[in-house]
Structure 1
Amino acid sequence: MLMFSLIASSSNAWLRAAQLFITIASILTIGQLITLVPVMTELEVAGVFKAAAVVWFFARLAALILFYFFAGYVIEAIPNSGGALSFAKGIAEPLTALLILITVQALFWELLAPFVDSLGRTIYHSSAIILIVSVSIWFVIRAYSHATYLIDTIAKLVKMLSRLLPQQNLICQQCGADITANTHFCNTCGHKTQSSNACPACEAAVSAGQQYCQNCGSKLGKTTVEES
């Protein structure tokens, strides 16, 4: 019952996130369309801003507020089941804060820029940089603490891919049977092998897949292994 409850809760969170995403897209689309109306580029607000710029500012501000709640539902919906999902869930909160902070400081600077002098500009940008760096450090700490989840996922992927790749075959010098590379004993006769390849005639080292020995010219077949 607990598992079904978690699935239902996750589905509900994804549903709310989808609703907010559609709402955000609608607000930005309508805001952009309004700015295309010719009269909006002619009207001025407070004698400084064009009406189109004001509408687009509030459209982005509303979208940013909704994005905060959208991100919250997405984080809630991500299952904490280990692996890459747990890594994503761990870094999602500081990543969201970083994205919102960067967007907010750029958005409000558009509003404040005409009214501040060089000192105000320096104070504003310095404060923004300090906040962004602080949140970035939070993000890095979260990424470090949850990195083991991502490493585990990568290790599993590498292991899965290694199973799909064709294995290199060697030839047993005792019975001539094909054996898998990096094995220590022939699975047909039990003859002990070595992982390094060598020419059976002169014992010179040869590379995998080499057809002839570069030292004595002996034919190697597929790949040879040196007897112990």
Structure 2
Amino acid sequence: MFSLISSSSNAWQRAAQLLITIASILIIGKLITLVPVMTELEVAGVFKAAAVVWFLARLAALILFYFFASYVIEAIPNSGGALSFAKGIGEPLTALLIVITVQALFWELLAPFVDSLGRTIYHSSAIILIVSVSIWFVVRAYRHATYLVDTFAKLAEMLSGFLPEQKLACQQCGAEISANTHFCNACGHKTQSSNTCPACGTAVSVDQQYCQNCGSTLGKTAVSGS
């Protein structure tokens, strides 16, 4: 148990270090592009030096982002609920973000050198790859959706405890009782009657004309339960 906690702590620590490194690379790269001479120098007679530096900074940040996401996924405990859902979709979500970013990043590099046919091939390949990874993500999300449903159910149950309970007065003795109780806890007077469908026994309201379960006509034929 302690080894698992230690491993998770180390993973979070490494993820934090990588996140700081990514931010530092992007900030420094952006600052370099603001140097006047970087906007004047050209590389290969096509790209400005500032654009090349910013490209390399983003590429390096993207590579580090992969390792950052790996450590985050490793650090998330598989303890059920929303955390298990997040852990389950972590890999395809990371892959989707990287694919979308990489195809846009490399298009900046290739755009000046490709014709219309190359443009079509590149974008078609990118779309196919993005769709494929998206399908992977959806499948993972479907498989782990039960964890999220359980979390919402527990959250709804927890929040229901903070809602004030509806109260009403007993018609017999005037004591304050819960709105959903069937008998007064002070005098035993019956406060509600539960009607049932004569065909299937499903609980129905007094003013219903048809059963919501079997469709039988109710009207005044609904039987009042004790």
Bucket of the pairwise TM-score, normalised by the shorter protein: 0.7 to 0.9
5+ unaligned residues in a row in structure 2: which ranges?
195-205, 208-225
Aligned-partner residue type, residue 143 of structure 1:
A
| Alpha-carbon displacement from aligned partner over 1:16-61 (angstroms, at most 9, x marks no partner) | 0000000000000000000000000000000000000000000000
1:62-101 correspondence to structure 2 within 5 Å: 62-101=60-99
Give the corresponding residue for 1:161: 159
Choose from 103, 110, 113 the match for 2:111: 113
Aligned-partner residue type, residue 73 of structure 2:
I
Q: Scaled by the length of structure 1, what TM-score is found? A: 0.83
Give the corresponding residue for 2:34: 36
| Alpha-carbon displacement from aligned partner over 1:62-118 (angstroms, at most 9, x marks no partner) | 000000000000000000000010011111110000000000000000000000000
Give the corresponding residue for 1:223: none
Aligned-partner residue type, residue 173 of structure 1:
Q
Structure 1 position 133 matched with structure 2 position 131: yes
1:44 touches 1:50 (CA, 8 Å); kept in 2? Answer: yes
Structure 1 position 123 matched with structure 2 position 121: yes
User: CA, structure 1 residues 195+73, in 2 after alignment: closer, same or farther (shift >3 Å)?
Assistant: farther
Give the corresponding residue for 1:57: 55
Identity %: 87
Aligned-partner residue type, residue 62 of structure 1:
A
Aligned-partner residue type, residue 8 of structure 1:
S
Choose from 12, 15, 19 the match for 1:14: 12
| Alpha-carbon displacement from aligned partner over 1:139-178 (angstroms, at most 9, x marks no partner) | 1111111111111111111111111011110111122111
Structure 1 position 23 matched with structure 2 position 21: yes
Q: How far 1:193 moved relative to its partner?
A: 2.1
Secondary structure in 1 matching 2:181: coil
1:95 touches 1:139 (CA, 8 Å); kept in 2? Answer: yes
1:181 touches 1:195 (CA, 8 Å); kept in 2? Answer: no
Aligned-partner residue type, residue 61 of structure 2:
A
Choose from 145, 148, 154 the match for 2:146: 148
**Aligned equivalents of 2:132, 2:60: Cα separation in 1:** 25
**Aligned equivalents of 2:181, 2:91: Cα separation in 1:** 47
Secondary structure in 2 matching 1:136: helix
Give the corresponding residue for 1:190: 188
Secondary structure in 2 matching 1:164: coil
Give the corresponding residue for 2:219: none
Give the corresponding residue for 1:212: none
Q: How far 1:195 moved relative to its partner?
A: 7.0
Aligned-partner residue type, residue 81 of structure 1:
S
User: CA, structure 1 residues 151+111, in 2 after alignment: closer, same or farther (shift >3 Å)?
Assistant: same
**Count of aligned pairs between the two proteins:** 197
Secondary structure in 2 matching 1:129: helix
**Aligned equivalents of 2:193, 2:129: Cα separation in 1:** 56
1:183 touches 1:195 (CA, 8 Å); kept in 2? Answer: no
Q: How far 1:131 moved relative to its partner?
A: 0.5
**Aligned equivalents of 2:101, 2:22: Cα separation in 1:** 15
RMSD: 1.5
Aligned-partner residue type, residue 40 of structure 2:
E
